[in-house]
Chain A
Amino acid sequence: MSGNLDTSLHYFLIFNPKLGQKEGTEHEKILFFYPQTISIGDQTNFVGLTEGYIVCTRQFSPEKPCEFIHTQKNTITILSPEPDIWIVMSVSNPSQPGKDAKQRDYVEDETDEFILKRVAQQVYSMWTLFNGPLLKLPQDKQPINYEQLRKRVDQFLKPYIQQMAFDQLDIFNSLDGIRFLPLNKNVYLTLISYVNSIECNFQSTIPSFKFGTLLYKDNIIWSSLNQNDTRSIYNYLTNIVKIGSDSSTGGTSWMILNNNGEPNWHTKGSKKNGFLNMIDLTSKSTLPFVYLEDKEKQTTMIIYEQKDTIILFFIDPVDIHLLKFEELSASLVSKFEFINPILDDSYTKKSFFDDQYKYIYFNQMNLAIRASIKSKSPELTKDILKILNDIHADFETSSENISETIIKTQTDRWIVAKRIDFREFYFIFDNKNTTLLEIDEEVKNLTNKYFKNLFIE
């Protein structure tokens, strides 16, 4: 080991403490472990260690179990998304060679715990989106076939975790917001009218047919799902299917059902215009199931792409044979063909404000995020990212109800962050040699000017 090492995944673990109760069978508790390069003995040790953490910290906080553990080398987040299921994600802290050749210096506070928590949650919600709750699956068949579950989790999560870049996580990951396409009211109403009329038309013959979500590239226009489902679907579409990104970047994959009816990652280049998650119009059996709302009933998800407009539909798997895909695609083409240029216009149009300022705006109430700086952009240097993360953590956790933070960085930039009633603003100013008062005035002016429709005093 030499040179500087960035944040990377140490291990990802899912276990059920109720299993493997007998001595010597502890490894049975493990439902999923990544990477497999770690020996089974070490894997079992990690489980034991986590159980230890949980039991130990429960003494101090019986209501809320331990969420984060910071060690010299690792930052660990623990999540229990459903009873008897624990997800543990351990990330190696960045390090560099120390003075002593045998020792390495670890940067212990570099990794933001909120980001990790969010990532672990995302992994879980991706699983439930396509598979339902973890323990739901084996319970269908009595007795629980854990062997099968382990196989499926491995099949599903391994490729997903493999493609995640742990060294590139930033504030956008922790906010996990949804970008909405800014649209004129009339265009918006027209689109909703299209969507409604398609839904109504097909519902008259297939009552279970439902419209789900409408996107243009990676911006949402309208979603009929609840917020959490919308977020999961949005994650899937933007991070995995990578809608809206250049097809040249590759790595596009989507979820389809294999011959056994199990969800499988499918990577076969990019495909535009048409039903995304179908090999062809005749193979309806590859359409994946998703679990929405109460996560109990599975419905089939149909994704259609028409020149960067992405439309999701849901239908009861029993009714899938009734749906005429050609008819659906024909009605979509006729409706969306001419509105595409308008959407493209709205998408590419940068407001004066976006040009002028570096900012991130996030509204927790509808998860809407707007930003003039892009994730992974050079603007966001390490120290800036760290400050943003810290401020966000303060907003989230501080008991003092912090509503405003102003920071001058070592490189003479100003970062102003405000949190007003579930809305978060982050502004980054490059103007050196300005005073605190001037910056405060500037922020006041720009909020008055550009956010005058919102009550954010």
Chain B
Amino acid sequence: MSVELAPLPFKIEKGEKFLSYDERLGQVIITSTNGIGFVYLDDPQAKRNYYCSDKPIKDAKFSPNIIYAAIKFSDNDIEILQLKTGVRYTHTCKNVKGSVIMGFFWTNNENLLIITNFSIELYQLADGQCKLIKDTKNLKILNFVFSAKYGVLLIYSGGNQIQPFLFRAQSFDKIPKFTVDSVQSPLELTNLFITRIHEKNYCIYGDHFNINIYELNLETIYKIRTIKLCLPGPNSIHFVDNLIIVHSELKISMVYDLKMIQKDRDLDPKKESVEFPISAIPMSLKELSNNNINSSSGSITSSNRDNYNEYSNNSQQSQQIQLYLKDWEYIHPHYIFERESGNWFEVSLNFDKISNFLQFDSHKIIPFLQDRTLANAKQALLALIKTIIEYKTENLEGIGKIFDELNRVLFQTLNRNNTELLQKQLSSANAVASTTQISGSGSSLSLSNSAGTAQSDKSRSLITAPPSSPSSPTTQSPNKDLWQKSSPQPNSSKSKLTLSNGSSPLGGGGNQIPHEDSLDLSIASSINKRSPTLKSDHDSQSTNNNGSSLNLRSTTVSRTTQNTYKAGNQFVPRASRLPQYILVNSVDMHEKVLYPIYEKIIIDQSNYNNSSNSSSHNSNNNSNSSNSTPTQVPINHHHQQQISGQREKNQFDSKYLISVVTEYIRSLSFASCPASDKLFDLLISLFVDNNMFSQLHQYLQYYAIQDSENIAYKLLSIGEIYPPALQLSLDMFKRLQKPNIIISTLLERKQLLPAIRLLRSIRDSDVEFYQELLTPYSVSLFLKEASAQNNDTLFFSVFKYFENYNHISTANPIFEKYIKLFQEKFGVTHLIYLKKHLSHDTNNSRSNSPKLISSQ
């Protein structure tokens, strides 16, 4: 794990001057001869928004809604500019003589706070006027820190005391002073910060030896902890992802986690020693490898190439950029401005190899990573879990506990999000607009938590063939057409985006959870994905979803960084979005942890088979009988032992993986989290690979394997090697309410009478469905099968069934040969219903055909 520096696209050009960084809006405020402007720091295009001004500008601030700007020209005057209209007026501070404006801020869209050396004044902007609404005078203000984001003002009047004020709409409150413990006096207010760590607000003061942390609530501020630095000396403090980063003068960046420190202290409250950071190495430059997005997963060669590229990029850039420069300005919360060059950097974290720093204590690392919001922490977390499973550093129980913890958080977030969405849904007047917003935020609400979402869309066509190959059971799935517009086929492509986004529409479950869709995208883009941006193309998509506004199963592949701009080319800065802790759902777990382990077992297996084949081939050559079949080749004893040893090892690994997958499924089930059907698919593959059919059967018997269409198809394909799977498959189709698939399967297996019995029971229960099901073509399939079986009684029964219920029409040429066949076999006298039509038809064309057929 290391602190990383990522160059930002924005650069202060010559002639421009950096004024301040607005944490709340995420914008850098600059001035030039043109006037004042701002740039969103995370805007990849670094678009400048300039507003003209002719006077020399000392400072400027934009209101949160970018309607006003407050501009300071002199020590006593502030000009308020309405950006759209250009209307401006000047507000002069009429205070005691000698008063100087030290700072001014927009506390909200209409409230302007002005801090002088004697007073703090809050103004309300209305009708082109600046009206004082509250002030506190007779203060002695040497310095101050203000956070618009958290509405906190800290006033310093000398000594070690700080006077806090809390701001709300139209007003502010004074809360009791607090004393900063520091050997330094006077205090350096550049080292005083207001920040939020894990949903709590803190004032943090750092000096050369300690970091003092004060918790801030609505009534008071009190000290909760001192972190004694392990590298004393001048430093700069940053906050990234709820962590405290201390950049030491010694060119080392230390990472502290308040949560972990508190946990450790709770265990050992008397400990008073130096606090060891999680990581303490020099920061490094982030590899700007754009090939992360393009690279396909899995293949060894491509990842090697990536590594090479990253390496070369890295070395190139580190030649250009030097770290820990003297002219660096550390901007709160986590930016660096290089004055000389005008470059901007973002300080970030790389969680790779995190276990090096926490002595591989998974009980510490996993909760730590779960508390992160950065996307690469998720990648690190998944990699770590994979390592734990592969190297068995935890026993199965321990792994189960890790799963439980992941799923507990997942369930909570899921529930909270669902509740929030439901509220939004209810309060929103415009249902369509609100749903697009919901889907834009990366989470979708489905009222049914089960994987059987496909149930709702009975695709009512009988002409569905079961898949021929077990590997791609979805390709012939009957509701394919329905999904083609809105989602990719799960197995169609191996690219990362497809895999992570398009995995769940058929199986359900996966995309119901908000999650970073692809781990390998850059941080910025993955955060952008959560943005509640309105996307124009979403309207059409939500209408595709069976018209149900709540049922949003589609998360599109196209959702990449560019999409953020779709809503009227308006860039939405990150600052206005809520951070979200990383979540690991069953799709992630399958894709990044369980399936790769399975793949490895398979590769080991096939490698071994290959090597044993080649060696048997060698012995073949030795005995000069290269043309004989390799199966009869005698294999030497040693080799045989090796093979059986390898087989045992693989079986052992497979069984272990089955236990792990089962453990994960148990955990998901307990936490009521949706499970991707891919998990069950993997489980079944493992059972089948190891001939553990009896166990597979038991899992299905107890519904430990969840019903889904994919799984039912998979079972159908297994039916060839394990016949009982067919029974299980048909049971599952029945539960999924897919009698059409059952009928076509039965037909394929020449079980005509059961198929007709099923038809009959559908007729009794769901007439509408029955009529949809029985197209002339499907009836002809029955007749075709019946005539092909060389069983006259069967053909008679089948024919009569359809004749009795008016499904055979003389009008439709498709039946012609069967009617003829029937007449040949049994004579026309048995055609009770059709007889009339037959004679009639020859005279009167097709006017009298039954209703059902005529509609076709």
Contact = CB atoms under 8 A, between A and B. Distances in A.
Interface of A: 180, 183, 185-186, 188-190, 192-193, 196-197, 199-201, 204, 207, 222-227, 230, 365-366, 368, 420-423, 452-455, 457
B666 A223 contact: no
B694 interface: yes
Contacts of A185: 669, 702-704
A226 B696 CA distance: 11
B363 interface: no
Given A193-B666, A223-B694, A188 B704 contact: yes
Contact of B663 (A183, A193, A204): A193
A366 B731 CA distance: 14
A192 B666 contact: yes
Contacts of A223: 694-695, 698
B758 interface: yes
Contacts of A423: 727
B656 A189 contact: no
Nearest to B660: A196
A190 B738 CA distance: 31
Given A185-B702, A189-B666, A423-B727, 12 more contacts: A185-B669, A186-B666, A186-B670, A189-B662, A190-B666, A192-B662, A192-B666, A201-B397, A224-B695, A365-B727, A454-B734, A457-B754
Contacts of B318: none
B233 to A, nearest CB: 48
Given A190-B666, A196-B662, A201 B731 contact: no
Q: Nearest 7 CB-CB pairs, A to B?
A: A365-B724, A189-B666, A196-B659, A197-B396, A455-B730, A455-B734, A457-B758
B400 to A, nearest CB: 6
A226 B691 CA distance: 9
Interface of B: 392, 395-397, 400, 652, 656, 659, 662-663, 665-666, 669-670, 692, 694-695, 697-698, 701-704, 723-724, 727, 730-731, 733-735, 742, 754, 757-758, 761
A361 to B, nearest CB: 13
A223 B693 CA distance: 11
A189 B730 contact: no
A199 B659 CA distance: 10
Contacts of B400: 193, 197
Contacts of B703: 185
A189 B734 contact: no
A183 B397 CA distance: 22
Contact of A227 (B397, B663, B694): B694
A457 B724 CA distance: 17
A230 B694 CA distance: 9
Contact of A200 (B396, B698, B727): B396
Contact of A453 (B735, B742, B758): B735
B697 A365 contact: yes
B838 to A, nearest CB: 33
A453 B662 contact: no
Given A224-B695, A230-B694, A207 B666 contact: no
Contacts of B724: 365-366, 422
A188 B670 CA distance: 11
A201 B733 contact: no
Nearest to A188: B702
Contacts of A457: 754, 757-758, 761
A454 B731 contact: yes
A319 to B, nearest CB: 15
By CB atoms of chain B within 10 A, which of A188, A204, A207 has the most? A188
Contacts, number: 92
Nearest to B700: A366
Contacts of A186: 666, 669-670
B139 to A, nearest CB: 63
6 contacts: A200-B396, A224-B692, A224-B695, A226-B694, A366-B697, A453-B735
A455 B733 contact: yes
A201 B394 CA distance: 10
Contacts of A224: 692, 695
B662 A193 contact: yes
Contacts of B396: 193, 196-197, 200-201
Contacts of A227: 694
A292 to B, nearest CB: 12
Do most interface residues of chain A lie in helix, strand or loop, or is the interface mixed? mixed
Nearest to B733: A455
B411 to A, nearest CB: 14
A368 B666 CA distance: 24
B659 A189 contact: no
B697 A222 contact: no
Contacts of B723: 365
A223 B669 CA distance: 21
B652 A207 contact: yes
Nearest to A454: B731
Contacts of B742: 455
A207 B655 CA distance: 12
B704 A189 contact: yes
A350 to B, nearest CB: 19
Contact of A196 (B392, B663, B670, B694): B663
Nearest to B758: A457
A207 B695 CA distance: 20
A196 B397 CA distance: 9
Nearest to A185: B703
A363 to B, nearest CB: 8
Contact of A189 (B669, B701, B761): B669
B390 to A, nearest CB: 14
Nearest to A207: B652
Residue of B698, B757, B761 contacting most chain A CB atoms (<10 Å): B698
Contacts of A199: 659
Contacts of B392: 204
A366 B701 contact: yes
A366 B698 CA distance: 8
A405 to B, nearest CB: 16
A403 to B, nearest CB: 8
Contact of B701 (A200, A226, A368, A420): A368
Contacts of A204: 392, 395
Contacts of B666: 186, 189-190, 192-193
Contacts of B663: 193, 196-197
Which of A227, A454, A455 is most buried by chain B, counting CB atoms within 10 A of its CB? A455
Contact of B702 (A183, A225, A422): A183
A183 B669 CA distance: 14
Nearest to A192: B662
B256 to A, nearest CB: 36
A222 B278 CA distance: 45
A192 B701 CA distance: 14
Contacts of B662: 189, 192-193, 196
Contacts of B701: 180, 366, 368
B731 A197 contact: no
Contacts of A190: 666, 670
Nearest to A230: B694
Contacts of B758: 457
A196 B704 CA distance: 15
Interface centre among B694, B695, B731 (most CB of A within 10 A): B694
Contacts of A366: 694, 697-698, 701, 724
Contacts of B697: 365-366
B698 A422 contact: no
A158 B92 CA distance: 114
A197 B757 contact: no
Contacts of A180: 698, 701
A222 B734 contact: no
A453 B665 contact: no
Nearest to B698: A222
B648 to A, nearest CB: 9
Contacts of B704: 185, 188-189, 192
Given A189-B669, A189-B704, A453-B735, A421 B698 contact: no
A180 B733 CA distance: 23
Nearest to B705: A185
A420 B670 CA distance: 35
